[in-house]
Every structure is written in C-alpha cells, then in structure tokens.
Amino acid sequence: METACDFFSLLRSVTVDCKDNGREFTVADRIAVIGRLLEGTSYSLVAREPLALLFAKRVPQECEKIVLISSHIDCVYSSCFCDDADGCWRGTFDNSFGNTAVLWCMMNDMLPSFCT
C-alpha cells in the first residue's frame, strides 16, 4: 500500500458521494474508496452492518485499552468535489476532512496503542 501521498491527495480521493436511506447505503462510493485505501495496512474490516463499517487493528492480547474513533461518511450534497485552485481548498467536505485525518493516521500507523 502506497501511503506517501500528501494529505490533499488523500482528501481528494475521499471526497466522493455516499448516501443512505436510513436503512442502508444507497450510494457507497466513499465506502469503496476507504476499503481500497486500507488494503495492505494493519487494519481490516471486522464488521459490516447496513449503516456501519468497523475497521480494527490486531493488538497484543495484553492491551487492556482500545481507541475507538467514530466518523460518519454519508454526504448531504447532491454531488461531491474537491479542488485546490489558487492554493485554497474548496469543495463539498461533509466530514471528508475527518475521514481523511483518520485514514491518514491509520495508513501511516499513527494511532496510539495503550498496552500495560
């Protein structure tokens, strides 16, 4: 997995549509991107529900604490875009920044582990 991309490139790849109808995802583009980005990392999909995905990293059994990060991925916009014209980031970033920050940390193994 190539993780040497810059934050903006990752943000651009995550700023895609994802919609649900309250029961299930009806457009899952962002879900597919996140899954592809985490391939080859130490994180794997451990649960898939109609409106939730749970990725986890295997930790040593002696670890007593875990870190849980929750982030929504559905988008309220009718179409999504990300642009960096004139050195200014513009776009429909409905939680794309949060998703990107978490993915960046996961892809670069930057989330803390709390072992005794």
Per-residue pLDDT of 23-80, as tens digits, reads 999 999 999 999 999 999 989 999 999 999 999 887 777 777 777 888 888 888 888 8
The pLDDT tens digits of the residues spanning 93-110 come to 878 888 999 999 999 988
For the question of whether the overall pTM of this predicted structure is more than 0.85, the answer is: no
Q: Tell the burial category of 41 from Cβ atoms under 10 Å away from its Cβ (0-12, 13-18, 19+).
A: middle
Integer Cα distance of 110 and 116 in angstroms: 19
Degrees to nearest 5, angle at CA 57 with 56 and 59: 130
Beta bridge partners of 43: 57
51, 100 Cβ separation under 8 angstroms: no
